Every structure is written in C-alpha cells, then in structure tokens.
Structure 1
Amino acid sequence: MGVGIQAHEPKHQGQEEREAAEGDGADTAALAALYLYGDVLESVVDRVPAADLAATAGVSREWLRAVRSALRRRPRRLPWLVVHLHGRRRRTTAAYDPHSGAWLTVQAPRHATPSHVRLVRGARGDRVCALSLSGLDVAGDPLGTSACVAMKAPSVWRVDPVFAAVGDRVVALGGACQLALAEGEDAAAVEVHESGSWIACDPMPAALRESAAATWLSVAATDQRVYLADRATGWASWFDPSKRRWGPTRRLAPDASVSTWGVAPGRAGAGAERLVLFGAKRQGEGPASRVVIQTWEVDGDGLDLSPGVVHDAMPREMSERLFPRDEDEEDDEEMSPSIGVRGSATGGYVYNAAELANGAVLYELREGKDGSAVERWEWVPCAPAVRAEPLGRAILACSPVGLDELSRGLPPLSSRRAYTDAS
C-alpha cells in the first residue's frame, strides 16, 4: 500500500504532466510513476529536516496527511533540546533538532511569559511555566507558542519549587519561601493538582529536606512517578502522585569520587521503570586533570543498580569540551564539575550547568535490555542565541516537537534562519 501526494493550487509541473498523461490515455503504471508511495515517501521524509517538513505539510491536506502518516510509521525517536533565554531586552526561544543537527529560532509568542519562568518536567516533554501569587500558567506546547493552561497557585508560596507533570496531574515539591510559611507549613511541602485544586501530601523525605529546592535537585518525570536526586550527595527517592505516597530513599553513589549527580528517565519497555544516573568527577591531578562523566542504569522501584547492565562513560573528547581546562587556573582552585541533564525514555542531553555556552552532548538510549544503557553520544554546539546573550538567564528543556508546534513557532520560510555548527 502507498500514500499518494497531490498538490492542488498552484499547478506545478508534476500536476500538469499528470493531467497530460491522463488526457493521452496513458496507462496506470505511467501515471503512478508521478506519485510518491510507501517506502519511497518514508525515505524522503526521513531525510527532510523537521522545519522543512512543517512547511511542506502546509502545501495541501494530502501532503499533511502523507507526512503525518509517514512519521507515524517511522517516528523520530530523539527529543529536541529547547532553550528559553531571557536576555536584557527580550525573550528568545531556540530549539535543536537532533535529526538534522540544526538550531532553529522560534518566534516569540504574543503571550510571552515574564522573566520569572520555571520548568515543568514531564514524561511527554518539558514545559515552561510562570508562577505568581495568583496562579500557575503552564505553556501549552514545548516551544511555548500556544495558549497557556491556567491553574490556581499552590497553597504554599514557593520561590524555587520542583514542578512535574505526571499523567494528568501536576506536582509541586519543595522550594517553599521560609519567610512566608504559616504555622505548621513545611519548606519541603508537597502538593498535587487534581480536579482543579491542590491536595497536600506528605513532605519530602528527611534525606532530601536540606536540598528541597529545584536548584539543588535533579528531576526525572515518567508517566507514573517523579524521581528526585540530591545533585551533591546522590540521595534519591520517588513520589507517586496517583497514590500520593513516597517510595524508598536510597543513596545513588556507585562512585565515591563523583562530585555531582543527575538523573533522567531510562529505557522505555515493559516491566519496572528504569533511570539513567549520570555522575561527573575530576580524575588525575595537575595538568593531567580532566572531567569524567559516567552513566549507570538504576531500577526505578528499589533505586538499586540494574544487574547485568554494562555501565559506560561519555567519550573523553566530549567531556573535555564540556569542561575545558583553564591553563591559567591554579590546581587548588579547580572547581568541581557541575552537570545538568534533560532527558526522556529515548535519549536526552548532558551539559555544563555552570557554562551553557560550552555546548551539550546528546545521548541516545539503547533499545532492549542487553548492553549498556547509552547506545551513542553526539556533540551539540551551543545555541547562537546563548552566545549572543552570555549574561542572559537560560532555561533548558527536553521534549518531542511535532509539526503543529513547528508550524506555529517558525517564521515564514522566506525569512527563516536555521543554524548549524560543526565545531
């Protein structure tokens, strides 16, 4: 079976040829040769950057149906890296397409959120949000181009909370303002937004109370739970908002020399949920010192290392680009490396949390249970917008990006700018 594509207006050379062939009584084979079908169409779609597909899909309804059908049969696995940058004068959004290896600028929405935006982590993609005393406005799509979803503000006033979308529920964890706490309220308070209201739940576990804020926690959200890990100590736990209960608390520290930790959703599949644990450490002394970034796979239920899984490390040339050594820096002044992780069940991005301009590294998770969790690594250059605004506040997100979001967020084809950087 094949999918035929026809363009209606204006008439192109291909359409004129088809009409001429039909008028001359050409046989079916000659007419079919002017159409794109099945595997041929999918092969074409597989090679076209997503931004160009979004423009192509607007040619006609037939094109739109054909492109969507091809993408459903051969979906693009990897999520995009989205940077929401708040500079001195304006807000800019840039999105990295891992399929084409290009950065795209996104038109600022009319309802641009203020500079105090935060991030909602979710299994189906991260969203920016704006928190105020009166409410919580969550972007309707990963690029922030569609109307926001408005809800009430959490009952406890929070200045640096973790927000996560788990299924159809939104969870607010920690980050409460100490000065605004009422009697009996807790800085590690947890609330679940369900059926239009916030429901108070048990606070964060004792091992996470000293780091109960988004700044100090690494977060991974799945369709069932939100996982939290202390970036400095490796203490971790998970929260199930549907059952409103916490899981076990474990210290994820397979390497005592690691100075900073990060977690992301693990490989998708049947059975228990899995996480990927990232750890960064300095190895060696003096001029030979370098940063090593390792990965481990963790069982989501018990928070134990997955048995039988080969644990590996980011290629040395990539970790050295994320954390280049400053030759003028004294050995005793070397800073501990700090990594950030944004990911999904198919892959994600690791970056230098202190120097976003250094770029990022894409990782792709292996399908299946055998071998290491990470199948490949790929260098991602810094977004041009971040280089142009080195003092701007950047929020990094990770999410699948579809044709609908691209068609809303990209400027007209004649003025579009796509950035590529092989450095």
Structure 2
Amino acid sequence: MGVSAGAHDLKHRRHQEARVPDADGASLAAMYLYGDVLESVVERVPAADLAAAARVSREWLRAVRAALRRRPRRLPWLVVHLQGPRSVGGGGGLRCAAAYDPCSGVWLAVPAAPRHATPSHVRLLRGSRGDRVCALSLSGLAVAADPFGTTAGCVAPLDAPTVWRVDPVFAAVGDRVVALGGACRLALADGGDAAAVEVHEAGGGWTTCDPMPDALRDSAAATWLSAAATDQRVYLVERTTGWASWFDPANRRWGPTRRLGPDAAVATWGVAPGRVVGAEERLVLFGAKRADKEAECTVVVQAWEVDGDTLEQTPSASSDAMPPELSERLFPRDDIDDDDDDDEEELDDRSLSIGVCGNAAGGYVYNAAEPANGAVLYELWEEGKAKGSTTAVARWYWVPCAPADAAVLAQPLGRAILACSPVGLDELALAVGARGPR
C-alpha cells in the first residue's frame, strides 16, 4: 500500500524550511540531492565545476567519484601557456594559462602563477602521464607539479644536464627525464655533441647516452622535431623530412631510424601517442600538405597509425583525413590568390607548420605558426571498439581559440606553448581556487 503526503504536510514542511534563515546551499542541496539522483546530476556537471561540487560534503564527494568511475572522461585537456612581451621595467612579462575541457567544450581561465613560481620563459616537457611546463637554468631543471603550472612548487628540482642546452627536447618516461639535443654549440667542450642525449634517474643524476641518429643530427632541436612520450619510449620525427626514430631510456638504446613516407607530398609532420593494443605501442602520425587548386581547402591534414616498434604503417590501416572545413579554419586561404610559380609554391610549403599534442585517448592538432587560429580535437578509437576499424581517428571536433589567448597572441611578442594532459579533481581545485569542505 502506498503512502502519500497530504497538502497540509507539504505546506507545513515548506514553512519549517522557510524558518531556517541560516540554511546554506550545502544543507539545502543535501536535503534534495542524494544517492542515485545526485550521481545522475553530477554526471552532467562540467569538469570545471566538479572540484567545487566535490567540496560541498562527503556525500557529494562520493557521488563525484562514483560518477567519474561510471563515466570516465577519457579525453585530455588542452592547456595553453601564454607569455606576453616583457614590461618596460624589465619584468618577466605576462604569464598565464587557459585550459579547454573537451567534455563540456568550454575554456577555463587559469589564474596567473606567482612571479616567483614560474619563470617568464618556460619550456615544454612531454610526458607519458601528461605534459608539463619546465624551466631550465644553470642551477637546475624545475618541472611544474600540475598541468596548469600554477603551483609554486615543482615535482622535484633536478640538477641541470651536464651539457648546456638552449633548445632541447625534454620528455618524462615513467620516473625518468630525458634531455635530447638542443645543445649550445658555443658552450660545447672539445669533442662535445650538439645532439647529445642524457637520462636522469629518479633519485640519481644525469647519465650520458648515445647521441641522436645521424638522420636527426642536423635537426637536433625542439624547434625542428616533433616529440611524443609514452610509458616506454620517446619518439622523434623531423618536422620537414619525416625522418623518425625512438629512444628507450630504461635500456639506453635507440630504435630503427626510418623515413616515414605514407605520402611524399606532405610538407610538415607531427606525431602523438596512439592506442595501446595489447602490449604494443602505436603512434598517430599527422601530415599536412598543400591541396589542389580545385580543393575545398588550401591544406589537407591526414593521419596514419604507425607501429611503435618498426615505425611502419600498421597493416590494413588507411589514412584518415581531417574534414576540409576544419583544416580550412586551421590554415585559412590567403587574401591574395596563389601564384603558379614553382618557387612561390615551394616557399608556401616551407611555411606550413603543424603542431600536435595528445595521448592514447586523443589530442589536438593546431597551426604551429598561427596558434590563435584555434585547434582541432581528435578522438581515437577505444581498444575494445577498434576491431575492424581501418583508421585510428574516431572523430574530429573544432576547438576555437580562447578570447584571452587571442588577445595575448595578437601582441608582437606574444608566445604560446600548447600542452595536453589529463586533469584530476585536485588539479582542478588548484586551478579554480575551490574552497575546502564546509
């Protein structure tokens, strides 16, 4: 037999609630939202608000965790670290960040880090667990403790590499940090190598390893190399020629060196971690080339899945092209019609520059020369759903540039570093400044 509440009881309950003037949002929320209803609501809350929701009460914290376990948010965030021009008085200039939540499709403005927390000039450290900004000085290497680079501390201050580097590739593979190339030729000792490689062990120091392969030596700098870090290796691809290799820091050895050639017309290359199938690592290789005159866009962007061991295209895999309307937004048409002169076409090819950051779930492709144009989110097939698929990319999605980013990048010396990382509740709390539980 059912039990119902009369109109008088409901009216009496409303009067009781109205007589509680000090009732706050947390207590009222606890009255009406609990159990499965609360979890269902939390599942629809944007990630930027989850940190605040988790601090309403212990029950809300359990609901947030249960919702994330039931519907994990796979895709990593895009984090753009911005640096404006130096001030007239010689200060470090503007340093701030903006983060894009792919689940809710909104940008989060990250408060500027304290001046003493992060130096004005930062570098990027590719990581198998997420990218981080870092600062290299004569005294050491400081790596930010969170994806946004907002905390005053760092993971663990490291000694500076034994070779002074001005444009190195930094990568974190497990508990090891790898420094590749980018050495200052003027500061090299006799017999020094600009393509030198060093590995830092946890709790130890830097160990010198074999330098980069010959095919990469002329481009041994972060400016000319696209890098991807996984749980086992660092992968390097020369942006213009397509020469590639990988380095295993645990065993201190280089893998095969191969010139990637899915399409000879590609003018610029980028690489990101791909799916992990069983125990095998795979990569996603991106290439950009000029389109035909009759094409819908000026630049065609394609993606291929590559075997991590052999650096060869995976069997039965085909290229997956970015939709023309998205590549056109990344590389818009020039106001002046293209000339038919071969020299000008070659110059335009050299001006193409593609940037990629991502992990095994997906990532972002952007115009490295004009990051203010925006980015394209790509999502990879999940391992269980990838059977029978011939491409690695499941979908493409447009990500507009954050308004604050565009304002900084419009300045003559505006600079941006695009990174990619999973973001947890604790890291979100640091970014949004959420308060603790009531």
Q: TM-score range by the shorter chain?
A: 0.7 to 0.9
Post-superposition Cα deviations, 1:110-140, rounded to whole Å, max 9, x if no partner, equal 3431222100001110000000011000000
Matching of residues 254-273 of structure 1 within 5 Å: 254-273=262-281
Contact 2:42 2:63 in 1 (8 A): no
Contact 1:260 1:280 in 2 (8 A): yes
CA–CA separation in structure 2 for the residues paired with 1:316 and 1:361: 12
Note the aligned Cα RMSD (angstroms): 1.9
CA–CA separation in structure 1 for the residues paired with 2:296 and 2:102: 33
Q: Is 1:244 aligned with 2:252?
A: yes
- What residue in structure 1 maps to residue 15 of structure 2? none
Post-superposition Cα deviations, 1:382-413, rounded to whole Å, max 9, x if no partner, equal 12122111231100000001111111111469
In structure 1, runs of 5+ residues without a counterpart are: 1-7, 18-33, 414-423
* 1:376 maps to amino acid: R
- What residue in structure 2 maps to residue 406 of structure 1? 428
- TM-aligned CA deviation for residue 294 of structure 1: 0.6
- What residue in structure 1 maps to residue 55 of structure 2? 58
* 1:246 maps to amino acid: W
Determine which of 378, 403, 419 is the counterpart of 2:397: 378
CA gap of 1:115–1:329, structure 2 versus 1, over 3 A, is: farther
* 2:428 maps to amino acid: L
Determine which of 89, 113, 122 is the counterpart of 2:118: 113
- TM-aligned CA deviation for residue 58 of structure 1: 1.2
- TM-aligned CA deviation for residue 286 of structure 1: 8.0
CA gap of 1:325–1:182, structure 2 versus 1, over 3 A, is: same
CA–CA separation in structure 2 for the residues paired with 1:94 and 1:150: 25
CA–CA separation in structure 2 for the residues paired with 1:41 and 1:386: 35
CA–CA separation in structure 2 for the residues paired with 1:72 and 1:269: 22
Q: Is 1:45 aligned with 2:42?
A: yes
* 2:144 maps to amino acid: A
Q: Secondary structure at the match of 2:405?
A: helix
Q: Is 1:150 aligned with 2:157?
A: yes
Contact 1:268 1:346 in 2 (8 A): no
CA–CA separation in structure 1 for the residues paired with 2:335 and 2:113: 43
CA–CA separation in structure 1 for the residues paired with 2:306 and 2:137: 36
- What residue in structure 2 maps to residue 397 of structure 1? 419
Q: Secondary structure at the match of 1:47?
A: coil
- TM-aligned CA deviation for residue 9 of structure 1: 6.7
- TM-aligned CA deviation for residue 196 of structure 1: 2.5
Contact 2:126 2:229 in 1 (8 A): yes
TM-score (norm 1): 0.88
* 1:136 maps to amino acid: L
In structure 2, runs of 5+ residues without a counterpart are: 1-22, 86-92
* 1:92 maps to amino acid: C
Matching of residues 3-82 of structure 1 within 5 Å: 12-13=27-28, 15=30, 35-37=34-36, 40-82=37-79
Q: Is 1:99 aligned with 2:107?
A: no
Residue identity over aligned pairs, in percent, reads 71
TM-score (norm 2): 0.85
Contact 1:92 1:385 in 2 (8 A): no
CA–CA separation in structure 1 for the residues paired with 2:26 and 2:415: 48
Range with bigger deviation, 329-338 or 236-245: 329-338
- What residue in structure 1 maps to residue 174 of structure 2? 167
Q: Is 1:304 aligned with 2:312?
A: yes
- What residue in structure 2 maps to residue 181 of structure 1? 188
Range with bigger deviation, 279-288 or 386-395: 279-288
- What residue in structure 2 maps to residue 350 of structure 1? 365
Range with bigger deviation, 393-402 or 45-54: 45-54
Moved over 4 A (4+): 8-11, 14-17, 286-289
Contact 1:171 1:241 in 2 (8 A): yes
